[in-house]
Every structure is written in C-alpha cells, then in structure tokens.
Amino acid sequence: MPERRTGRRRFVKRSCGCCACFLIVVPTISIAILYSLLQRVPSSYPIVERPIPPRDSRHKIGGGLDGFDSPYIGHTGSWDGKGGGMGGSAKLADMDVERAMDLRWTFMPVYWRQMEPKGPVDLAQDVPPAWKELDDFVIAAHERGLNILMQAPVVGGNAGGPPDWAGRRQQGRSAPKNMEALADFASKLAQRYSPGGTLARRERWGDRYGVRAWELDNEPANYFTSWAGQAGDYAEFVTKASRRIHKEDPQAIVTTPALACGSGDYGWLEETLASARLAGSPEYKRQGVRFSIGPSTDAVSFHIYEGLDTGISGKDRTIERAFMEVRDIFERHEDKMSGHAYSRKQEYWHTEGNYDFIGVMSEERRAAWRFQFMTRAFAAGIRKVAIMDASPKERIAVRAYVQALPDPFPMFPAVSKLRVTLGKVAAFRHQNNSGIKGNDVWIVWAMAGTGPAEVEIRVKNSRVETVSVDGKHETVMAVNSKVKVQLRSDQKMPPPLIILDRPAVK
C-alpha cells in the first residue's frame, strides 16, 4: 500500500519492533504517560572503541561522482515506492528542503510490487507509467545536484511483499518463490539508473551522474511483510541482486541489511551471516545452497532512533551502541565461513533515524541533538548519517553544521585536550588533513542536567568563530593563544557550539 507520512509510519513500525503488545496497549495509555515515555533521553553515550579510520584520500568511493563522498543523507517526507510521495505527490519540495540544508544526497525506496505488478517488464518495448515517474525523480535529483540512495529492490515492509505473479516461499513473508525474477528486477534498475545507464545516456549525463548506492530492502527482519524466519533467503537475494547490480556498474555500493537496531536483538542478522546454519524457509533449506550477506555487502547500513528506541526499550539506545553491536557481529563472522569469508567492513552507514519524529521533544532540543548526534557518529567513524525529516529549526542547525564540516573526518574525543573551568562537558575535535596549519574545528557542549559550563581552548589563530545551533556566527578573540567559551545548560539536550579555529580568509 502507499506509504503513510513518515512520522506516523515510523511510530507504528518502532512499536511493532520493540514491543509486540504495544499496539494493543497504546489506546489504553493516557497521553500524559505516552508523552513522558517519549521524553526520555539516553543517560550515557559511550566512546566507541576502535573507531573506523578515515578513508584513504586517494580512494574516491563511488568513482568520484560529485558529492558522493558527502556523509549527510537526506531522508525527507513520504514515498509511494515509484518515485513520488504519498498519494502521488511530487518529491520536488522535499528535495528542495534537502538542498537548502546544503545536502548532496536524497533517498528513494522502490517497491517491486509497484514497478512490475503484472509480470516482468521489458523496458526495451515500453516504459510503463511507474518507471516514467521514477525517471522524473532521478532527473529532478540530478537538477538539484543530489546523489540518490536508492533503497531497491524493496520487497517487504510497506511494499507488501513480492508481486503475486512471482509467488512466495511462505505466506505473509517476503521471499519470492521466483528469486531469479527479483534478481532480474535489480538488474533492470541498475541498467536504467546507474551512471552510463539507459537514462544517463538519454539525458546526456554519460557516466557523470546516476544511482550508485543501492540499499536492499528495508528493515527486513521484522517490519510488516518481512524476511522473518527467512534470513538465508534474504542472503540469497542479496547475493544474487548484488552480483547483477555490480555486473551493470562495477563501482556500485550495495548496502545491507538496513537493520532496525532499536531492541538490540540481532539473532536474525547472525543468521544472514552464518551460512552454515542454513536458516531460512523450507524451500531455502530444501535447495541446500548456503548464502551469506557478508561477501556481497559493500556498506553495512543500520537504523536507530535514539529517543524513541530508548523510551520504548527502557535501555540507552544510541548510535554508538548500535554501531558497535552491528560491527561486532560482522567482524565475528568475517573469516569463519567456508566459501563466504570477506574483508573487514570499513563502510557503516546510518540510513534512517531521527530523535523524536512525532514532535514530543521541542525543536530547539532536536536542533541541539542534530549537532550532538552527527558529532558522535563521525567520531565512531560512521561514514554517513541520515538527516531525516528535519523541522525548520533543525534545518538551520544541519545547514550550519554541514557548512562548518563538509568533511568531518577525522573526529576525535577531546575532553582531555582542553581545560574545563566550569561544569561538565563533552568535547570533540576535527583535525583537518588538508595540510593547512591551524585549521581545526571543536564541537563542545555541557553535559545534560549538570548546569552551564565553560571551557578554555588553546587555539592556533588570533581569532576564532563560534557557530551555534541557531546558525549564528560570532567572533572570539584569543588571549595568549587561548579562548574561553560559555556553554548553555539543559536538562535533556544542551546546545553545542562549533568553534572554528581556522586562518582568516584573505
């Protein structure tokens, strides 16, 4: 069915993933209790051990497509699974919002059932309306300088399962009986939308633009029509679809498993990697061919909603914890499978998540969270983060952050590198690798519930610039190569400051 507006959809979704009885209980819970539950914030944010180091500057992921290296993925609005928004609305306004934040990425899921409802489509004979709609979306993204994370093919979740003609290995589940038809569909998408593909040639883009990042399905473990109990079937899909996509575009980035990390239950993920278990549908077991997502995954994608997942689970669920948990599973399986070993993953992408998409936390606090969340993610070495459904004040914060840190790597914890003269603080430092002397960026904030704070930072330039979450810039003069900065307090989400210690522009 067409996808609902993102916030409402995600509320139902996260409830189902975190507590099986939540939908039954919600009507009986007072608004006050629900409000209180969703106001909870994590009490701690761990420093990630073994953060992933920055990419080698000589390695241009995505073949050097313009903006592909940007770590900020726009994820705005709703979708109909074929290039438009809910109810057939256009995505132009959503993409304009993303461009206004200086983002270089947008997002689009593509539902197999929508694109091939009656049978396999031969695009050499005719281009059906759904494909023309998707063409229009890709063209509009190109006009705005936005790369596309195309979540495709999507079989389960809001997509409703495979089209009827492809059959199902199990009723109510995602694995099609005709898995080769699903791989063929992935190939058609890559043929049409990759750089140098059919659409790029028609529009005279050549190999300078096209879809080069593909996320295979959406939260396949447990979301509505899902691959639950079909971990091996999902691994078969990933292996076959990835192979076909890379045949069309050797530089494509295939991301999996788009996993919901709210509950921290990773049994299904283990089974997608541990091919020896032969975990899957009866048909998968009967075939007896073992598959693993490990070798076919170029980037590991995962989802986390820090506020909502913390409130519902009753545990601190943060991006650092989700990242460490998922990475640990991938690393434990990387060399233990006969025929399915793979190199250590270096690309981890956060491709969906917000703090509080239904608006319980104030816009001011959510704007502060954007600064905190991105900084903590980049310090872990997470390559990309989703900028999902930002409110107006959050958009100001995101734009200010992106302009200050278009390339935020490397990012290091830095409390020990400054002097705290009042209160308690979190501090991080980006050290620029451009070779320009005195070109550092600090991000600092008071710890929640501990009152205001003040820090003294040793700087290399005679004046520095501060950037606040409301987008305001102020100049601070250094005294004896030091600056003092006051930090505001808040019980839940203190607003950070960015301090730009950079040479003055001449």
What digits encode the pLDDT tens for the residues 98-124? 999 999 999 999 999 999 999 999 999
Residues 6+ apart with CB under 8 A from 390: 76, 97, 101, 370, 398
Crossing angle, helix 392-404 and helix 92-100, to 10 degrees?
Answer: 50
Q: What percent of the chain has pLDDT over 70?
A: 91
Q: What is the mean pLDDT of residues 366-387?
A: 98
Q: Which residues of the chain are in CATH 3.20.20 domains?
A: 6-43+64-353
Which of 29-43, 63-77, 352-366 reaches the highest mean pLDDT?
Answer: 63-77
Q: What is the mean pLDDT of residues 230-258?
A: 98
| Alpha-carbon span 82 to 104, nearest angstrom | 21
Q: What is the mean pLDDT of residues 438-453?
A: 94
pLDDT above 80 (res 34)? no
Q: Do 168 and 227 form a contact (C-beta atoms < 8 A)? A: no
- Residue 141 CB-half CA count within 13 A: 31
Q: What percent of the chain has pLDDT over 90?
A: 84
Token pair of 381 as six digits: 């070495």
Q: Which residues of the chain are in CATH 2.60.40 domains?
A: 412-501
pLDDT above 90 (res 22)? no
Quick one: pLDDT band at residue 339, thresholds 50, 70, 90? confident
* pLDDT (0 to 100) of residue 452: 98
* CATH fold of the domain at 412-501: Immunoglobulin-like (2.60.40)
* pLDDT (0 to 100) of residue 10: 46
Q: How far is CA 397 from CA 353, 363, 373, 382, 467, in A?
A: 17, 10, 12, 20, 9
What b/e readout covers 154-170, taking b as 16+ CB neighbours within 10 angstroms? bbbbbbbbbbeebebbb
pLDDT above 70 (res 314)? yes
E strands in 358-470? 385-388, 411-413, 419-422, 425-431, 440-446, 453-458, 463-468
* pLDDT (0 to 100) of residue 439: 85
Mean pLDDT of the chain: 92
* pLDDT (0 to 100) of residue 358: 79
Q: What is the mean pLDDT of residues 199-207?
A: 98
Quick one: pLDDT band at residue 11, thresholds 50, 70, 90? very low
Quick one: pLDDT band at residue 59, thresholds 50, 70, 90? confident
| Alpha-carbon span 391 to 354, nearest angstrom | 11
Q: What is the mean pLDDT of residues 279-298?
A: 97
Q: How far is CA 426 from CA 45, 51, 279, 444, 452, in A?
A: 10, 17, 43, 6, 12
* pLDDT (0 to 100) of residue 356: 81
| Domain 6-43+64-353 sits in CATH 3.40.190 | no
CA 115 to chain centre: 24
* pLDDT (0 to 100) of residue 2: 35
| Alpha-carbon span 490 to 395, nearest angstrom | 21
Sign of the alpha-carbon dihedral angle for 106, 110, 115, 119:
positive
**Rounded to two decimals, what is the model's pTM?**
0.94
| Alpha-carbon span 64 to 58, nearest angstrom | 10
DSSP 324-354: HHHHHHHHHTTTSSTT---PPP--EEEEE--
Phi, psi dihedral angles at 70 (to 5 degrees): -60, 135
Identify the H or E element spanning 107: strand 105-111
pLDDT above 90 (res 201)? yes
Q: What is the mean pLDDT of residues 405-418?
A: 97
